Amino acid sequence: MDMKLNLSEAKIARARELAVAIVNPVMEFVEAHTSLTVERAALRLAGADGADADGVPVPNLVVDQLKGKLENGALLYYINALVKTGETVEGLNAKIAGGLRVDEIPLGDRGAIEKKTAERIQAFAERVKRNRAHREAKLVQYAGKNHSPMLYLIVATGNIFEDVKQAQAAAEQGADVVAVIRTTAQSLLDYVPYGATTEGFGGTYATQENFRIMRQALDEAVDKQGRYIYLTNYASGLCMPEIAAMGALERLDMMLNDSMYGILFRDINMYRTFVDQKFSRMINAFAGVIINTGEDNYLTTSDAVEKAYTVLASQFLNERFAYAAGMPARLMGLGHAFEMDPTIKNGFLMELAQAQMAREIFPEAPLKYMPPTKFMTGDIFKGVVQNALFNFVSQATNQGIHLLGMLTEAIHTPFMQDRSLALENAKYVMNNMADLSSEIQFKPGGIIMNRAHQVLDEAVAFLERIEQIGLMDAMEKGEFADIKRPRDMGKGLDGLVKKGDEYYNPFESFLKSELGLER
Amino acid sequence: MIIRPYGDTLDDGAVQLSFTLPVPEGPRGREAARIFMEKLGFKHAEVVHSHAMAEGYSFYVAYAKTEIFVDYDAIHIEEATGEKVYSMNESCEVIREQLGRKVVIVGACTGFDAHTVGIDAIMNMKGYNHHYGLERYPEIEAHNLGAQVPNDKLIDYAVKVNADAILVSQIVTQKDVHIHNMTEFIELLQARNLRERFIVIAGGSRIGNKLAVELGYDAGFGKGSYADHVATFIIDRLIEKKQDY
Asked if the Cβ–Cβ distance from B148 to A173 is below 8 Å, we say no
Provide ipTM, 2 decimals: 0.83
Q: Give the orientation angle of helix A270-286 with respect to helix A240-249, to 10 degrees.
A: 10
- The answer to whether residue A129 sits within a structural domain is no
Cβ contacts (< 8 Å) between B112 and chain A: which residues? 184-185, 201
Which residues of chain B neighbour A377 with C-beta distances below 8 Å?
Answer: 223
Residues of A known to be catalytic: 261, 296, 368
Give the integer Cα–Cα distance in Å for B45 and B66.
Answer: 9
A457 dihedral zone (left: phi>0; alpha: psi -120 to 50; beta) = alpha
Question: Which residues on chain B are in Cβ contact (under 8 Å) with A482?
Answer: 124
Q: Does residue A36 sit in helix, strand or coil?
A: helix
- Mean pLDDT computed over A377-403: 96
- Whether residue A474 lies inside any domain: the answer is no
The DSSP code for A51 is B
Q: Above 90 in pLDDT, residue B54? A: no
* Rounded Cα–Cα distance for residues B61 and B43 (Å): 16
Ranking A240-254, A447-461, B94-108, B135-149 by mean pLDDT, the lowest is B135-149
Q: Which of A416, A450, A484 is the last residue of a domain?
A: A450
Q: Is A507 helix (H, G, I), strand (E, B) or coil?
A: helix
* Chain B residue with the nearest C-alpha to that of A416: B20
d(CA A216, CA A251): 10
Q: Is the pLDDT of residue A472 over 70?
A: yes
Nearest to A201 among B53, B59, B112 (CB): B112
CA distance A414 to chain B (A): 12
Q: What is the pLDDT of residues A473-508, one digit of tens each?
A: 999 998 888 788 899 988 999 999 999 999 999 999
User: Going by DSSP bridges, is the β-strand pair A335-337/A368-370 parallel, antiparallel, or unpaired?
Assistant: parallel
Using a cut of 0.90, tell me whether the model's pTM lies above it. Answer: no
The alpha-carbon gap from A73 to the nearest alpha carbon of chain B, in Å, equals 32
**Chain B residues inside the 8 Å CB shell of A374:** 117
CA distance B241 to chain A (A): 34
Closest CA to A292 of A133, A136, A179, A416: A179
Per-residue pLDDT at B172: 67
Higher pLDDT, B88 or A266: B88
Cβ contacts (< 8 Å) between A341 and chain B: which residues?
129
Residue B130 is predicted with a pLDDT of 76
β pairing state of A368-370 and B103-109: unpaired
Q: Which of B174, B205, B207 to mutate to test the interface with A (most CBs of A within 10 A)?
A: B174
pLDDT value, residue A481: 81
Are A91 and A229 found together in one domain? no
**In terms of C-beta distances under 8 Å and separation of at least 24 residues, what long-range contacts does B189-192 make, across chains too?**
B189/B155, B190/B216, B192/B155
> CA triplet B18, A203, B212: central angle to 5 degrees?
70
Q: How close B106 comes to chain A (CA, Å)?
A: 17
Nearest-CA neighbor of B163 among B191, B142, B186? B142
**Chain A: which residues have CB within 8 Å of chain B?**
158, 168-170, 172-173, 184-185, 187-188, 201-202, 265-267, 300-303, 341, 343, 373-375, 377-378, 410-411, 413, 415-417, 420-421, 482-483
Which residues of chain B make contact with A420, given a CB cutoff of 8 A?
51, 53-54, 59
Percent of chain A with pLDDT over 90: 88
Please indicate whether, in this complex, the C-beta atoms of A416 and B223 are within 8 angstroms of each other.
Answer: no
Q: Which of B79, B101, B119 is nearest to B235 (CA)?
A: B101
Residues in chain B: 245
pLDDT at residue number B174: 65
Tell if the CB–CB gap between A416 and B53 is shorter than 8 Å. yes
Q: What is the mean pLDDT of residues A434-443?
A: 94
Q: Note whether residue A63 is domain-resident.
A: yes
Residues A91, A163, single domain; the answer is no
Nearest-angstrom CA–CA distance, A283 and A243: 10
Beta strands in A248-373 (DSSP E): 254-256, 290-292, 332-333, 335-337, 368-370
Is residue A113 within 8 A of residue A506, CB to CB? The reply is: no
User: How far apart are the CA of A428 and the nearest CA of chain B, in angstroms?
Assistant: 15
Q: In total, how many domains does chain A have?
A: 2
Chain B's closest residue to A420, CA to CA, is B53
In a domain, A433, yes or no: yes
Q: For A486, what's the count of Cα atoms within 13 Å in the CB-facing half-sphere?
A: 3
Helices (H), ranges, B26-109 = 27-39, 88-94
A194 vs A54: CA distance, rounded Å: 11
Interface probe with B: pick from A201, A406, A411, most Cβ of B within 10 Å: A201
Distance from C-alpha of A194 to C-alpha of B7, rounded to nearest angstrom: 55
* Contact indicator for B64, B17 with CB cutoff of 8 Å: yes
A419 in the same domain as A289: yes
Nearest CB neighbour to A173, from listed B54, B147, B223: B54
A203 in the same domain as A113? no
The residue in chain B having the minimum alpha-carbon distance to the alpha carbon of residue A421 is B53
Same domain, A173 and A105: no
Give B195's Cβ-side CA count (13 Å radius): 14
Q: Give me the CATH number covering residue A70.
A: 1.10.8
Distance from CA of A298 to the nearest CA of B (A): 11
For residue B138, pLDDT beyond 80:
yes
Q: How many Cβ atoms are within 10 Å of B62's Cβ, its own excluded?
A: 21
Identify whether residues A203 and A291 lie together within a single domain: yes
Q: Do B172 and A184 touch (CB under 8 A)?
A: yes
Q: What is the DSSP string of A412-424?
A: SSPPHHHHHHHHH
* Residue A496 domain flag: no
The answer to whether residue A127 sits within a structural domain is no
Q: Nearest-5° angle of CA B80, CA B82, CA B87?
A: 95
Query: Is A75 in the same domain as A177?
Result: no
Run of H or E residues at A308: helix A308-324
Question: Residues of B with CB below 8 A from A266's CB?
Answer: 114, 148
pLDDT digits (tens, 9 = 90+) for A209-250: 999 999 999 999 999 999 999 999 999 999 999 999 999 999
Same domain, A109 and A156: no
Share above pLDDT 70 across residues of chain A, in percent, rounded to a whole number: 100
**Rounded CA separation A120/A114 (Å):** 10
Same domain, A164 and A55: no
A311 near A258, Cβ under 8 Å? no
Residues of B in Cβ contact (< 8 Å) with A300:
116-117, 120
Task: Judge: A202–B173 Cβ closer than 8 Å, yes or no.
Answer: yes
CA-based nearest distance B76→chain A, Å? 24
Residues A335 and A400 both lie in one domain: yes
Does A19 map to a domain? no
Q: Which helix (H) or strand (E) holds B42?
A: none
Calculate helix-pair angle for B151-160, B177-191, nearest 10 degrees: 40
Mutate to test the interface with A, among B53, B57, B136, B205 (most CBs of A within 10 A): B53
Specify the pLDDT at position B203: 93
Strand pairing report for A496-498 and A33-35: antiparallel
* The pLDDT of residue A184 is above 80: no
Mean pLDDT, residues B149-160: 93
Give residue A43's domain range: 34-122
Band of pLDDT at residue A519, cut at 50, 70 and 90: low
Q: What is the DSSP string of B203-235?
A: E-TT--HHHHHHTT-SEEE-TT--HHHHHHHHH
Picking from A434, A450, A466, the residue at the C-terminal end of a domain is A450
Q: Are residues A59 and A202 in the same domain?
A: no
Q: Which of A302, A382, A308 is nearest to A343 (CA)?
A: A382
Do A350 and A309 form a contact (C-beta atoms < 8 A)?
no
pLDDT reported for residue A459: 98
Same domain assignment for residues A172 and A243: yes
A172 and B54 in contact by Cβ < 8 A?
yes
Residue A375, C-beta contacts closer than 8 angstroms, at least 6 positions apart: A339, A340, A341, A342, A386, B129
- Stretch B175-200: mean pLDDT: 91
Residue A377 lies in a domain: yes
Residue A412 Cα distances to A380, A382, A409, B47, B171, angstroms: 12, 16, 7, 25, 10
CB-side neighbour CA atoms (13 Å) of A158: 11
Catalytic residue among B43, B126, B160, B223: B126
